[in-house]
Structure 1
Amino acid sequence: MQNFLIRVLINAVALWAAAGLIDGISFGDDDAWTSKVVTIVLVALVFGLVNAVIRPIAKVLSFPAVVLTLGLFTFVVNAFMLQITEWIADPLGLAFTIDEFWWDAIFGAVIITLVSWLLSVVLPDGDD
């Protein structure tokens, strides 16, 4: 359970960093920081569930493209997971939007990957 909470917080920080660095990714128009924090954590939870359920299937189906591009297609798969998160967040009433797939979602996936990796190295994961 502790590992799951750490992963959700890492995803939340990574999503917040991507939204801060890329104009096309946003968490609603509300200026109240408390509602933004709650939205970011809930979107991080959805993002974690999408990565746990859909990403393994997408990785298997995209394996030939990943091999042909020497792993660079992984960023497209990650961007697709981010786009699916947006599609799921909308009916749930979470104000999470991505303007363009090819620019905003791809660069957002790169930022999320880098921030998640960095925080995973720094923070304990509970497996030790």
Structure 2
Amino acid sequence: MLQFVLIWVLSAIALVITAYIVPGFAVTSFASALLAAVILGLLNAIAKPILVLLTLPLTVVTLGLFLFIINALVIWLAGAITPGFVVTGFFPALLGSIVLTLVTSLLTFLVGSVRR
């Protein structure tokens, strides 16, 4: 349970850092970031597998690069339904998905190395 909460908080921190780096990607408060992290997690668990399955031929043809588009669409959708989390367009969502992945990986690595 504690690890779940830690990952949730790290995801919210990663969203705040990404909003600081990427123009067109905004989080109004840390509470909004926590809510956005939950909604992103739910969308990644429910909507993303469906999108991946529906676009599998396109993903294969592009050698997996279409997954960047799917990630951007999921983040854009999360921005549309989460109060206090704003993604102003597709390209901020695309850049934000890349930066968010890198920041989340870095934070997870740093916390993992501290916990050992």
Give the alignment's TM-score, normalised by structure 2. 0.84
**Could you tell me how far apart the structure 2 residues matched to 1:3 and 1:60 are?**
30
Query: Equivalent pairs: percent with the same residue?
Result: 32
Structure 2 residue 111 is matched with structure 1 residue 118: no
Q: Is the 8 A contact 1:51 1:81 kept in 2?
A: yes
**Could you tell me how far apart the structure 1 residues matched to 2:100 and 2:88 are?**
16
Match of 2:86 among 92, 97, 117: 97
Deviation larger for 1-10 or 39-48: 1-10
Identify the residue that residue 81 of structure 1 maps to in structure 2.
74
Cα RMSD (Å): 1.6
Q: Is the 8 A contact 2:27 2:33 kept in 1?
A: yes
Q: Is the 8 A contact 1:11 1:47 kept in 2?
A: no
**Could you tell me how far apart the structure 2 residues matched to 1:121 and 1:66 are?**
28
Match of 2:65 among 72, 76, 81: 72
Q: Is the 8 A contact 2:32 2:84 kept in 1?
A: yes
Offset of residue 117 of structure 1: 2.4
Match of 2:41 among 15, 39, 48: 48
Tell me how many residue pairs correspond in the alignment: 112
Q: Is the 8 A contact 2:27 2:85 kept in 1?
A: yes
Relative to its length, the structure with more helix (as a share) is 2
Higher relative contact order (CA 8 A, sep 6+): 1
Secondary structure at the aligned position of 1:97 is classed as strand
Offset of residue 3 of structure 1: 3.6
